[in-house]
Structure 1
Amino acid sequence: MSTATTAPNIVFILADDLGYADLSVYGQRNYTTPHLDRLAGEGVRFTQAYANSAVCSATRLALITGRYQYRLAAGLEEPIPSNAANIGLPPEHPTLPSLLKAAGYDTALIGKWHLGRPPAFGPLHSGYDRFFGNLGGVVDYFTHKNGVGDDLAPDLYEGTVPVERTGYYTYVLADEAEKYVRERATQANPFFLSLHFTAPHWPWEGPHDEAVSRQLKDLFHYDGGTQRTYGEIVQALDAAVGQVLHALEATGQAENTIVVFTSDNGGERFSDTWPFVGQKTELLEGGLRVPTLLRWPARLQPQVQTQVTATMDWLPTLLAAAQAPVDGLYPSDGINLLPVLQGQQPVHPRQLFWRYKSQSQRALRDGDWKYLKINEHEFLFHVVDDPRERANLRERQPEVFARLKAAWELRNQDFLEITPQTFTHGLTPDIQADRYVPSRLARHVRK
C-alpha cells in the first residue's frame, strides 16, 4: 500500500528550555547541531512558532490536550508541586495519545512527564501504552535523581515500577527510543512516540561532567554551568535525535513517519534567544518563541513556514494526519496546520493568549501586533517589524492598543481563575518558579 494513504507513524520530540537560536539552523554560531539542521533541511522550519506557556508543565498540558492550559487547574501556574497529590492531568480528559490509541495507534512516552504523579495521575492513565522516564520536572543527568540536598531521590520508571539505568540521561532516552522504533518496524499498527528529553534543562552537566554530578546537593546550582557546558548539553541532544532518525531510516520507516521537534518554552540562563529578548518565565518573545521543525517526506515538501503556531496546534494537526477524530466534547483551541503546509494561505490574523504569575504578566498576539503587560506597565509592539520589542507603540496606536487589551480581557473570561483555594493545593506565589530571576523585564518597565 502507498505510504501516501497509510496512517503515518509519529515521533514527537520535545526539548526542555531550548532557546530559539540554540540550533545552528536558527543562528547558533558557537557549536553545530548537524542532525537537527538536516531535519530542518528535509522538512518544515517554522519561524513564528510559540510555546503555549513560558514554563514547562503548562505547555505540556496544552500539548497533550490541544487546549489552552488555563482550562485545567494543573495548567494555572508552574510548576506542579511534587507534594500536591490532587494536581495533575485528569485521566478522564481526552489526550493526543488517547485519541490516537482509539484510532489504532500504539503509544509510548519516553522521557519527561511532569503532569501529576501516581496513583491519581500518570502517563498510563492518559493514553500511553508504555512509559519509560521521569515523572517530575527535572533529574540529574547521571544519577537520574531529583530534589534538593537530602531529599534527592530516584525518579526513573518503567511504567509504574522504579528502575535503574547507567549513563547520561539524554543518551539513555535515545537508546530506549531507538529500541522502540526498531521494535515497531515489525508491527502492523502505526505508532505514536512522545520522546520528551530533559535537555537542555539544568542541572548544568554535559556528557563528561559526571564528577560535577557527584558533588551536587541542589540540582539548580546557581553557581554552576558555562556556555561551553550548555553547548555540550545541546549537542548531546542533537546526537540523540540523530540516533532516533537513523533508526527510522535503517528500518525503512522514515518516509511515512512524521517527526516533530520543538521546545516546551523559551531558553534560560545560558541559552540563545536571538533576535528576541526575554527568557523562560517571561512573556517576552524570548520566553515564548521556540525552534520548531517538522518532517513528513511522504506528504510535505521542504519549506520555511511563517505561519503563527502554538503548542496546542499539534493535537488537531497530528489527528488530521492520522485521520483520527477530535473529541467533540473537548474541542481543541488549536488549528490544523496541514492545509497551510500543503500550500494553502496562512491563517492570518492569528490570535494567541498568555498569562503568567497570577496575571502579573499578560500577553496577546493578534496578527502582527502584541499586547504585553508586566506588573502595571503596558506595551504595544509590532512584533514582525520589531521582534526585539523595543518600540512601545501604545501612544502612537491607541486604537490598536485598546482593541488588543480588550481582547485579552474578553478571552480571559473563558479560563479558570486562580483562587485562594487553588493555593491551598500547593500552588503558592513563591514556589520554585520564583527561583528564576527575570533578567530582562526591568528594561521594559522603566518609565
Structure 2
Amino acid sequence: MKDIKSFINKRVISKLSLVVVISGSLLSGCSSSEQVAIDNSQSDIKNPPNILWIYMEDQNPWNNAWGDDTVDTPNIQKLADSGVMFTQVYQPAPVCSASRSALVTGQYQTTLNLQDHRSFRSGYNKQFLPESYKTVPELFVEAGYQTFNIGKDDYNFSYDRSRLYNAHDGIAGFQGAQDGSDFNWASKLKNKPFFGQLQLKGGKHTHFEGKNVPEVDPNEMTLPPYYVDKPATRKEWAKHYKTQVVSDIELAEIIDTLKANNLLENTAIFWFSDHGMGMLRHKQDLYDGGLNVPLIVSWPAGEQRLNQHGKVRTDLVSGLDIPATSLALAGIDVPDSYDGQDVFAAKLTPRKYVISAKDRMDFSFDRGRTVRSDNFRYIRNFHPEIPRSQPQFRDKKPFSIEFKQAFEAGTLTPVQAEYFAATKPAEELYDIANDPHQISNLVDNPDYSKVLKEHRQVLLDWIAKTDDKGAYPESDRAIKETIDLWGKKCVSWQCDSFRKRHPDAEGVKGDDYYDKMPWPDYMPKPNKAYYDKIEQLYRKSFQ
C-alpha cells in the first residue's frame, strides 16, 4: 500500500493526455482573492438536465479512480471514465451539518451563522435564513423542477421542508442514509426534470455482512506517521477501505436505476462526500484528511461542456462550487450571494485559494480557519489554549482509547504525541508537496515568511468580507441547547460558565427555561409533527 497523495499524483499523471490545458490568458487572469465571479453565459438550455447529488458521508478518495487499488471499486472508476474527476476539492467544513448547511444554501456557513455543528435544533433556539434568501432546492423548484432528498438534511437552520423538497415528504432526518418513507424517485419523476439528493452512509458503514465486501487485512495497512501503530487503528483504517466497496456497490445500483428508467443520458450526476473519514485528525479537523473529498461529475448528454477543461481536473475547487455548478448546468441563474462558481464555465477563472472553517463540534467549543492553495495549507487556531485532544465524540472509540493509552505510557513519537499537547500553535503552515501529512509546521521558518504573510492576509480579508460569524460567541440559548443535547459530556468552559450563571436551569429542559422562538411571518411554522419532536430525537440519540 502507498500513501494516498502518491495515488492521486499517479492517477493524474497517468491521464495527462486527457487534460485540456487552460490557456495562458485564463491563468494570467486568476483572481488574487478567494471570491470568484459567476459566469452564467451558458444558461440557455432547451432540454434541462436532471441534477442528482449522490451525497456520501465521511469518505476520503481511496478508490481506483484516484489510483488507490487496495480494494476494487470498478463502478467508481467507470463513472470517472465517463465524466470528470476532481482531485483538489475541499469542503467548507470538516463536519456534516456545517458542510451540508453551506452546500444547500450556496453560501459559507459562517456568513449565515450556521457554523456550529448541530445547532438551532430546538424550539427555544432557532436560526432562520433571511426572508428573500433562496436555498439551492428552492431555486430548482422555482425553475419548474421536482426536488427531493432521501436521507438526512442536517441543516443548522429552521425551514419549511416542503418549500425545499416538493416531490417527497420525507423527514427532517439527521442520521441514517435512508430516513423517510419509500420513494421511487426515478420511476415517479422520469418525465419531469428533477433535482435530487441521495444520501449514502459512505464512511459510516459498520456492517458488511451480505454486501459481498472482501476482507481487508489490517496488517497490510500503511498508517500515516501521526497515528500510533496499534491494532484498533489499523482495523479502523482498513474498515474505511471496506466502506469504499459498499459505496461502489451503491453507486452501481443507482446507475442501474437511472438506466432502467431511461434517465442516465440527461442526468448530471455529482458524486461526492460531505467531508473526510471519521478518524482523529481527519473529520472535525482542518487538515486535508478532513476536508479533501472525491468529486466526479458525469452527464452523458453534456459531455462536451463537461470536458472543455479536461477529464482529470487538478485545479482548486470548493464544495460551494457544487451547488453553483448544479444550478448553472440546469440553466438557472446563480444568485450573486452564492460563494461558488460554475466549474464548467467557458470563461473559468481558477481559484487560487479555498477557505474552510471549524467551529463548535458537538460539545467541543473551538474556532479555526484554513486557507488551501495549490501548494500550501495555512491554519489559524483562534483558541491555541484549547488542546486538539479536548473531550469529543470519539473518546470511547477503540482507536482513540489505544492512542491515548500509548500517550500516557510515553511510547508515542514526537509527531504522534503532538495531538495530545496541552496547547496548539496559533498558526500552522504546511508545504503539501513535501509534507503531504501536514506534520512539519513552517510558521517559524524564515524561508516561508512571504508565503505565511500571503495566506494570513487572504484569511483576514475573507473574514472581514464575509462577516465571519464565528468571531461572535454563542448565545446562552445556544449553550443551553448544547447542554440539553449532550448533558454532562460538555465540560467546555462555556457550559461550565452557563451552569454557574444559571443554577436554576440545572435539570430543566431548555423548552421549560426559555420561551419558544416564533417562526417569522414570511415562513409560518409548517404543519409537520417532526418539527416538535426533533429535539427529543436528538437527546435520545446522543445522551
Partner of residue 241, structure 1: 251
Q: Quick one: which amino acid aligns to residue 161 of structure 2?
A: P
1 CA distance for matches of 2:340 and 2:238? 37
Structure 1 residue corresponding to 2:48, chosen from 7, 30, 34: 7
| 1:82 and 1:136 in contact (8 A); partners too | no
- Is structure 2 residue 289 aligned with structure 1 residue 286? yes
1 CA distance for matches of 2:485 and 2:61? 28
2 CA distance for matches of 1:227 and 1:311? 25
| 1:106 and 1:192 in contact (8 A); partners too | yes
Quote how far apart the aligned CAs of 1:82 are.
5.1
- Is structure 2 residue 441 aligned with structure 1 residue 392? yes
Structure 2 residue corresponding to 1:123, chosen from 138, 141, 161: 161
Q: Quick one: which amino acid aligns to residue 137 of structure 1?
A: F
| Deviations 1:43-93 (CA, angstroms, capped at 9, x unpaired) | 1110000111000011101111111011223x2211337546634564843
Matching of residues 32-181 of structure 1 within 5 Å: 32-73=72-113, 75-80=114-119, 83=122, 86-87=125-126, 90=129, 92=131, 93-115=133-155, 120-121=158-159, 123-125=161-163, 127-131=164-168, 135-139=172-176, 156-158=179-181, 176=183, 179-181=184-186
Q: Secondary structure at the match of 1:283?
A: coil
| 2:150 and 2:198 in contact (8 A); partners too | yes
| 1:182 and 1:248 in contact (8 A); partners too | no
- Is structure 2 residue 436 aligned with structure 1 residue 408? no
1 CA distance for matches of 2:301 and 2:165? 26
| 2:45 and 2:331 in contact (8 A); partners too | no
Partner of residue 205, structure 1: 207
Partner of residue 359, structure 2: 356
- Is structure 2 residue 431 aligned with structure 1 residue 382? yes
Indicate how the Cα distance of structure 1 residues 349 and 60 shifts in structure 2: closer, same or farther if over 3 A, else same.
same
Indicate how the Cα distance of structure 1 residues 55 and 89 shifts in structure 2: closer, same or farther if over 3 A, else same.
farther
Q: Quick one: which amino acid aligns to residue 180 of structure 2?
A: Y
| 1:307 and 1:346 in contact (8 A); partners too | no
| Deviations 1:355-398 (CA, angstroms, capped at 9, x unpaired) | 43455433112453321134241222233454332443332221
Q: Secondary structure at the match of 1:265?
A: coil
| 1:89 and 1:116 in contact (8 A); partners too | no
Indicate how the Cα distance of structure 1 residues 91 and 235 shifts in structure 2: closer, same or farther if over 3 A, else same.
farther
| 1:65 and 1:312 in contact (8 A); partners too | no
Q: Quick one: which amino acid aligns to residue 380 of structure 1?
A: L
Cα RMSD (Å)? 3.3
Matching of residues 252-267 of structure 1 within 5 Å: 252-267=262-277
Indicate how the Cα distance of structure 1 residues 386 and 346 shifts in structure 2: closer, same or farther if over 3 A, else same.
farther
Indicate how the Cα distance of structure 1 residues 333 and 322 shifts in structure 2: closer, same or farther if over 3 A, else same.
same
| 1:353 and 1:411 in contact (8 A); partners too | no
1 CA distance for matches of 2:247 and 2:351? 34
| 1:112 and 1:198 in contact (8 A); partners too | no
Q: Which has the higher helix share?
A: 2
| 1:316 and 1:334 in contact (8 A); partners too | yes
Indicate how the Cα distance of structure 1 residues 278 and 52 shifts in structure 2: closer, same or farther if over 3 A, else same.
same
Matching of residues 189-338 of structure 1 within 5 Å: 189-201=192-204, 204-208=206-210, 230-269=240-279, 278-299=281-302, 300-301=306-307, 303-328=311-336, 331-338=337-344
| 2:352 and 2:374 in contact (8 A); partners too | yes
Quote how far apart the aligned CAs of 1:190 are.
1.0
Q: Which has the higher strand share?
A: 1
| Deviations 1:316-356 (CA, angstroms, capped at 9, x unpaired) | 2111111112335xx111111112xx6x6651423424243
- Is structure 2 residue 57 aligned with structure 1 residue 16? yes
2 CA distance for matches of 1:288 and 1:429? 29
Instruction: Give the aligned length.
Output: 368
Indicate how the Cα distance of structure 1 residues 334 and 130 shifts in structure 2: closer, same or farther if over 3 A, else same.
same
Q: Quick one: which amino acid aligns to residue 278 of structure 2?
A: E
Partner of residue 189, structure 2: 184
Partner of residue 481, structure 2: 426
Indicate how the Cα distance of structure 1 residues 363 and 350 shifts in structure 2: closer, same or farther if over 3 A, else same.
closer
Q: Secondary structure at the match of 2:276?
A: coil
Q: Quick one: which amino acid aligns to residue 397 of structure 1?
A: Y
Q: Secondary structure at the match of 1:109?
A: strand
| 1:15 and 1:197 in contact (8 A); partners too | yes
| Percent identity for Structure 1 against Structure 2 | 24
Quote how far apart the aligned CAs of 1:232 are.
4.3
Partner of residue 524, structure 2: none
2 CA distance for matches of 1:248 and 1:352? 35
| 1:48 and 1:289 in contact (8 A); partners too | yes
Give the unaligned 5+ runs of structure 2: 1-43, 212-231, 385-423, 491-543
Quote how far apart the aligned CAs of 1:297 are.
1.6
Indicate how the Cα distance of structure 1 residues 84 and 54 shifts in structure 2: closer, same or farther if over 3 A, else same.
farther
TM-score by length of 1: 0.73
Q: Quick one: which amino acid aligns to residue 124 of structure 1?
A: S
Give the unaligned 5+ runs of structure 1: 145-155, 159-164, 166-175, 210-221, 270-276, 436-447
